[in-house]
Structure 1
Amino acid sequence: MGLLSAITGNAASRDAEAVGEELAPILADGERVELAFQLVRDQFVFTNARLILIDKQGLTGRKVEYQSIPYRSITRFAVETAGHFDLDAEFKLWIGSDPTPLVREIRGGENVAAIQRALATMVLGG
């Protein structure tokens, strides 16, 4: 990820194999990373079984939250942008019967569409 992308918060694709090696201790047997995006210090990781949202916290980033969301528990999702050429997007995931969505902000032009496509593919079983 380039310095400008990091500063502006744009989502950058990450090598799935490298992310898989990093996450090997928490991946289930047979689980593999299909697609990964990095947003400054946070990551969206799509495996063949779940979506893993990685949130690095604090100044040093040593504290990390790994939120695992099995695709079968995502009941719906939405992507909201301010306009066609706007790079800012807000992802909303509804999990189970919870009426309140999980919300994540992301920027990154093409990768906003790539993340939405990955969600559609994984959630809809395509």
Structure 2
Amino acid sequence: MENALSKLWDMYEQSKRNRIEDNLMNSFAVHKLTQEKIKLQASYDKLVGDVQALLDENERRAQMERKPDESKLQEKYDMVKNLTVSQASVIRNMKLKLAEEKTKLQAHIDELEKVVEQTKAKLNGIKAILDE
């Protein structure tokens, strides 16, 4: 009986150590993904700022060069239009990347919660055996 209880207790301790190790590894993974998300957000913000500065500079140049020459106006209009389309594309791509990162993080969190529930169930089973 003593050997059986000792063996059960060792199994309980091993399960506990494994759970702690899994939680630590998972927290490292979550931290890494969070840092990557922060870097992506920073680069996205910088990119939006750069595009906005470029548009502002083009607007300033357009105001300085106000000539009734329609071909120049059309060129500037096309350039601004292309910049706007490019900016929209960049923003859309960054939002997709951020959404993917969010999905990955949520899946990882769900997996961690599932592991916690499984561990709790195992602990309850071990406690039930020990209480008998």
Tell me the TM-score normalized by structure 2: 0.21
Q: Which has the higher strand share?
A: 1
Tell me the TM-score normalized by structure 1: 0.22
Which has the higher relative contact order, 1 or 2, with Cα contacts under 8 A spaced 6 or more apart? 2
Larger radius of gyration: 2
